Amino acid sequence: MSIVIVGGSGMLARATEWIKDNFDDDIWLLSRNKDRYSSELLNFHNVKFVEYDYETDNKIDYEYIKDVKIMVNWVHSNGYINHQSFIESEMTIDDNCTPVYIHIVGSNRHDDSAFIKWLQNKGFKVLIVQLGFRLDHQGGKRWLTHDEISDGVIQAIQLGEDVLVSE
């Protein structure tokens, strides 16, 4: 089985490491920037890197991603069409379970109901990680840290439900 992580460096780096440490499945890192991942992660026995930009039409020439059981994705609305095409043409989902699609969205959400419906029609259980804000020491709003965002993704995977990362 496979786990696919789109954009797993940066804000999702800790969630990516947690997935590596907690799952024995093949882990596919789909990203534009291979150099943003540690060499330890890239050289781990079950990790595969594929250069991927959800804003363009992508194909994997050398291998097909088989039996996806979890996808973690921070794909913005301008890439939904290309991302759908990639899912359709480059991977299969695991028929032995209900695959989970972790859909990370910011506080200024685009109407992604058609995209979510498409994912559900493909057989995915869609879990939304909604990003909000935290309060700083003076009581004002601040951006979430990378670890707080990763914690929301990890919580969604562990609990199997939507997560709001906010106060």
pLDDT on residue 17: 94
pLDDT in tens, 95-151: 888 999 999 988 766 788 899 999 999 999 999 999 988 888 898 988 899 999 999
Segments making up each domain of the chain, as ranges: 2-165
**Model confidence band, residue 54 (pLDDT cutoffs 50, 70, 90):** confident
Structure tokens at 61: 């020439």
Instruction: State the helix-helix crossing angle for 13-22 and 146-159, rounded to 10 degrees.
Output: 40
| pLDDT band, very low/low/confident/very high, at 70 (cuts 50, 70, 90) | very high
Give how far the C-alpha of residue 124 lies from the chain's centroid of Cα atoms, to the nearest Å.
13
Residue 147: enclosing H or E segment and its boundaries? helix 146-159
Task: Give the N- to C-terminal CA distance of the chain in Å, as an integer.
Answer: 36
pLDDT of residue 160: 96
Residue tagged 């024995």 (tokens): 24
- Domain at 2-165: CATH code: 3.40.50.720
DSSP code, position 43: T
Query: Which whole number is the average pLDDT over 37-63?
Result: 82
User: pTM of this prediction?
Assistant: 0.90
